[in-house]
Amino acid sequence: MQKTTVFFISAAVTIVAVIGVLLGYKYLLRHSTDLPDQQVQQSETSNNIVESNKPDEITKPELIINGDTDTPKIIDTPENSVLASINIEKVTKAGFMDADVKISSFSGAIFETVDLGEYNDDENLEYKILENNINSGIISELIFPDEKIAENVYQSIKNKIDGISIFTVNETNQYGELSFFANNAEEKNSVFLVVKKGTRLYTFHYPARNHNKIKNLIGLI
């Protein structure tokens, strides 16, 4: 009997608390809708600026997968992007001597003349390789949610380049899962290469003398 009494008392307290919360929430909703009109009236009469209570926008953290642990990390600049697959260690290992790598956001164009502005997303990157302070290659890295999308974009880029008169597409599939060279009639001593690897597309524009080094780099990414 005593346990039953305690149970009903506890249940009653819980119900009262829930009702109180619901009523409070309903009150806040009702009065929050009235607040903007009051603020507008005050601003019209006093010419004072009404500050918004909306919190400042928070940068969404990028997740780094470390084994079974998801560690949030904010990407501040392309230079410290955890999505970047190319770094100075790989460039040096590929054979570039006294090298430096400049990382920036994707410019929206490849091979200087091919507009890919529709893929100008924040996560996409561009690398400029310097060897002895000499421009030795420009690489674009486009990152997609899955391999099917990456393949579709690869085909789209190939078709777009094939429609530009100065280029001749030569699909060899020598690198990654898919790849083609875009031979440029106006730049005989430069190589233009597009490669799909997994969920990423890479475009390479470099002097022909660096072909073996770029080939090594592709094997490292």
Q: Judge if 84 and 178 occupy the same domain.
A: yes
The residues pairing with 179 across neighbouring beta strands, listed in sequence order, are: 195
Q: Judge if 34 and 87 occupy the same domain.
A: no
Q: Judge if 95 and 187 occupy the same domain.
A: yes
Higher-confidence position of 208 and 58: 208
Look at residue 124 and tell me whether its pLDDT is greater than 80.
yes
pLDDT of residue 206: 97
As a whole number, mean pLDDT of residues 7-30 equals 47
Higher-confidence position of 45 and 136: 136
Q: Judge if 92 and 138 occupy the same domain.
A: yes
The band of 168, judged by pLDDT with boundaries at 50, 70 and 90, is: very high
- CA 133/CA 98 separation, integer angstroms: 8
| CATH number assigned to the domain comprising residue 103 | 3.40.1000
3-state DSSP assignment of residue 160? helix
pLDDT digits (tens, 9 = 90+) for 25-84: 443 443 344 434 444 344 444 444 334 444 444 444 443 434 444 444 444 566 667 889
Q: Judge if 46 and 72 occupy the same domain.
A: no
Give the tokens for residue 114: 């091919």
Q: Judge if 156 and 200 occupy the same domain.
A: yes
Higher-confidence position of 4 and 119: 119
pLDDT of residue 82: 82
Where a domain ends, among 11, 36, 54? 54
Q: Judge if 44 and 117 occupy the same domain.
A: no
pLDDT of residue 71: 45
pLDDT of residue 74: 44
Q: Judge if 180 and 75 occupy the same domain.
A: yes
pLDDT of residue 93: 96
pLDDT of residue 63: 39
Range of the domain at 19: 1-54
pTM as predicted: 0.65
Q: Report the sign of the C-alpha dihedral through residues 153, 85, 83, 145, in that order.
A: positive
Look at residue 151 and tell me whether its pLDDT is greater than 80.
yes
pLDDT of residue 78: 67
Domain total for the chain?
2
| CB < 8 Å & 24+ apart, contacts of 184-187 | 184/111
Q: Judge if 93 and 142 occupy the same domain.
A: yes
The answer to whether residues 219 and 202 touch, using CB atoms and an 8 Å cutoff, is no
Q: Judge if 90 and 68 occupy the same domain.
A: yes
Q: Average model confidence (pLDDT) for the chain?
A: 77
Q: Judge if 42 and 69 occupy the same domain.
A: no
Q: Judge if 8 and 92 occupy the same domain.
A: no
pLDDT of residue 72: 46
pLDDT digits (tens, 9 = 90+) for 209-219: 999 999 999 99
The answer to whether residues 61 and 72 touch, using CB atoms and an 8 Å cutoff, is yes
